[in-house]
Structure 1
């Protein structure tokens, strides 16, 4: 299909990206989903977007009343004054008297009569956008699949050439998926709602069919809040990128940059791995604060530590933060793993990069990110896409991963992301001279050389400090190192260049 094919914007944030520009105008679409999945909300947003563009909008309801629709809209802060609403529901007076108690009056039960009234409403209003709610009522009136299919085909033929885009809603009240309309409609959008063992209901959207156009396939996360439905498209990293100079992102700590062979490069990801309390989050924050001090924008997404506690801790370490969005500022975003959806988090990261221009991104931690993902395999795939996207935009990304266990070989990784990262920095806690100390080392760096040493790490009111290589200790990574005996010193007056005898 050519690029100038007219599109009909959905009015739902994120959905047009999934549809590669919106629905193709002048066609009939099926919006399929169980009750409570968000069909009516999506339909109202679509019609209101048409009104904003100066188009005539019609909502034909066979189930809900106009009052119920307006109440639903009011809960989102909307008004439907500019949308024509046509009710084809049973009148209360028809349930009184000697008439047989049925859902519809005898005149209404006939499918052809209901269809005629729908078409009459379209002829009168001449809408450019229309919603028919819902097909389940027509299916009940038809009483046979053959008659039902013929009526849907007749509706489709009726709208051809009328420059009207139609959304037909279906609540899946029949047995299984209604393949009749799936085959007839130009496009099908399915809405799903699942309730996990803990946490809020999870909502997803998928486009299963869109004739004449490509689209982003698969499940897309969505939320319904006051203000409407919002879709978070699945990230496809190869479709995004920008040119950027290959340059080093310094930490602001000389010995740390030395350990990393000069520093971290733009367009790379660094995994900070170690037990709780070993200094991972502070080192990651050091890079973010240093970037902001150089005039760049940085963002920290914190899944565990509260925003206020993080800012207070950084201030006590001599790293006061000018919080906010834009050059020279650091944005701290606290996230709840039980509330944030995986694609919603990816969308927040994209906004920081594309809208705010973030040069450094910190994800603290992967443990919280993993808790937001229903499947470990999905986490690895999505993390790969996210890191590729950030690398393509020249962002220096820092991932914090907390290992279970405190010292030595007993530590375990929550998820193996080491092969995804371009650099891996290992943190350990060890016992020495009656105190618990911290150690830092680099075990992987794809973009250049790095030190193979293990250095002591500590923090105080002046910030981050690294000591000289712990050459006098063996077994630091086990948590209980052994002091090495110093090498023998040459005798006074002897040739210091001579090796030991024998």
Structure 2
């Protein structure tokens, strides 16, 4: 009996690219070559576009490819390709549209049912073209027409089975397109094909349509299950594979990252640790975004890159506010050390946003990611039922890569009882609280660290001022009690202890 190590290694099946950016990742390398696949979706979901990309990828590799169309003319296909900036030169297009004389009563069949004649004729013309070209890739658009020609589900299933057997030994990879409306009547096809892709389209109450892709079947191969967002843009379909944080597990130490402000680093017990997430929470104008800007500029001065995703303000507003604090963030942007990307919540899909973050971290090597703000992030996905799970997966992914993530969340209210519609403090490793409080006839700001999972931190409440020289963090407010209520009481300490001496200094907008 031979040793198991002497057994020949299993040969991995040959894969063939889908031609769609991101889809090969979902399919774990692409389609298995020489197999039959089904792509189904409602009209307008991108089936034809994906099929064209599949064939164009074959043309780029020097392969012979064939597009069999039963529902659109060649002129219509070329017009659609032109809208994407493509030329279909190199793709053999075979039209199988009904002849114009079929409206003539003299041309109608009398002895045989039309399906018996037309299906045989259509199939014969398809096979004749395949024999002539010997293509490596074939697209059938669409199965709905073959289903109608077949006339019965039994004949339709047998026809698809015959096509599968015919192509099985010819070294051809075949995509069959089908409308979702006919899926319930065409379920037998799913048992025949090697793999099946389902395209779905959602219509939110506000904003653009959102599209999702799901692999419902893929024989003999591992693939990335679940829903994957995709878009149809000029240039074709682009898929955003679902993020799985477990695929990025890496070992690393929690090394503190300095903010460039000694009092703030003291308050945090050394700084924000790499690979952790920090939630900045407080009312509008208390200094949350200003603190994030300090970290970004300090990182740029150390030669580290950052990425800021702005839901609530424009890059111009960010630059203007930072200049008012003496921060040269516009210089950091021009040098490429800080990337600022404004996000339109009405046009964003979760997958597209996560893809932008991944590009910033993996491609551009950003060590800090700022999301300003979470309310904008959640508003971008009002109909997403698992947005908290998606956020948890995103934070886990960034943590695995050693990125410092800064999340900004605005509370409702200004002074007194505060509330928030998004309680994600349990997800963040560090929570920093910003509050307004009244003291001696003035509205002032306070900062404190409520939580830090990775180490000890100072538990005091300090006064925070925003000046033209940046953030100024004072001594602990030990002479007051009840600062977090917004209306504290003096605790018998010496007047002015722990309070900045110049409360009349200019205070640029903090948020």
**Match of residue 121 from structure 1:** 129
Which residue of 25, 28, 33 corresponds with 1:25? 33
Q: Note if 1:469 corresponds to 2:476.
A: yes
2: distance between equivalents of 1:418 and 1:101? 72
**Conserved in 2, the CA contact under 8 Å of 1:323 and 1:332?**
no
Of 240, 260, 264, the match for 1:232: 240
- What is the rounded CA distance, in whole Å, between the counterparts of 1:460 and 1:3 in structure 2? 67
1:419 Cα deviation after fit: 0.8
1:113 Cα deviation after fit: 1.7
Kindly indicate whether residue 434 of structure 2 is the aligned counterpart of residue 445 of structure 1: no
Structure 1 residues 351 and 3 mapped into 2: Cα distance closer, same or farther (>3 Å)? farther
Q: Residue 5 of structure 2 corresponds to which residue in structure 1?
A: none
Provide the C-alpha distance between the structure 2 equivalents of 1:101 and 1:480, rounded to a whole number of angstroms. 91
2:264 match: secondary structure: helix
CA–CA distance in structure 2, aligned partners of residues 365 and 207 of structure 1: 33
Match of 2:432 among 425, 429, 448: 425
TM-fit CA distance, 1:451: 0.5
Report 1:131-170 matches (<5 A). Answer: 131-170=139-178
Q: Tell me what 2:363 maps to.
A: 355
Residue of structure 2 equivalent to 1:495: none
* Aligned equivalent of 2:422, options 415, 422, 434: 415
Task: Note the residue ranges of structure 1 that are not aligned, 5 or more in a row.
Answer: 489-502
1:379-428 deviations in whole A, cap 9, x for unaligned? 1101110011001000011011111222222x222322111111110111
Where 2:319 maps in the other structure, the secondary structure is helix
Per the TM alignment, residue 484 of structure 1 is displaced from its structure 2 partner at its CA by: 1.5
CA displacement, residues 86-138 of structure 1 (integer Å, 9 cap, x when unaligned): 00002335445854599xx9699521221111111111111111100000001
Q: Is the 8 A contact 1:267 1:394 kept in 2?
A: yes
Once the two structures are superposed, what CA deviation does each residue of 1:163-189 show, in whole Å capped at 9, x if it has no partner? Answer: 111000001343726211111110000
- Partner of 2:218 in structure 1? 210
Q: Relative to structure 1, is the Cα distance of residues 2 and 453 closer, same or farther in structure 2, using a 3 angstrom cutoff?
A: farther
Query: Structure 1, residues 415-447: CA drift from partner, whole Å, max 9, x if none?
Result: 221111111101111122222111110010011
Contact 2:279 2:406 in 1 (8 A): yes
Shift of 1:147: 0.7
Measured in 2, the distance between the counterparts of 1:219 and 1:5 equals 25
| Pairing of 1:163-312 with structure 2 (within 5 A) | 163-174=171-182, 176=184, 178-242=186-250, 244=252, 246-312=254-320
Give yes or no for contact 2:204–2:383 (8 Å, CA) kept in 1: no
Q: Does 1:381 align with 2:389?
A: yes
Aligned partner of 1:436 in structure 2 is 443
| Length-normalised TM-score, structure 1 | 0.92
Post-superposition offset of 1:143: 1.0
1:177–1:214 distance in 2 versus 1, CA, 3 Å: farther
SS in 2 for 1:338: helix
Q: Is the 8 A contact 1:172 1:178 kept in 2?
A: no
Q: Structure 2: how far apart are the matches of 1:133 and 1:108?
A: 21
Cα RMSD for the two superposed structures? 2.1
- Helix, strand or coil at the partner of 2:81: helix
Report the CA distance shift for 1:14/1:318 in structure 2 as closer, same or farther (over 3 A).
same
Q: Give me the whole-angstrom Cα distance separating, in 2, the residues matched to 1:486 and 1:359.
A: 43
Residue 81 of structure 1 aligns to a residue whose secondary structure is coil
CA–CA distance in 2 between the matches of 1:394 and 1:175?
45
- Residue 153 of structure 2 contacts residue 186 of structure 2 at CA under 8 Å; is this kept in 1? no
Q: SS of the residue aligned with 1:77?
A: coil
Contact 1:301 1:333 in 2 (8 A): yes
Cα distance in 1 for residues equivalent to 2:248 and 2:220? 24
1:367 and 2:372 correspond: no
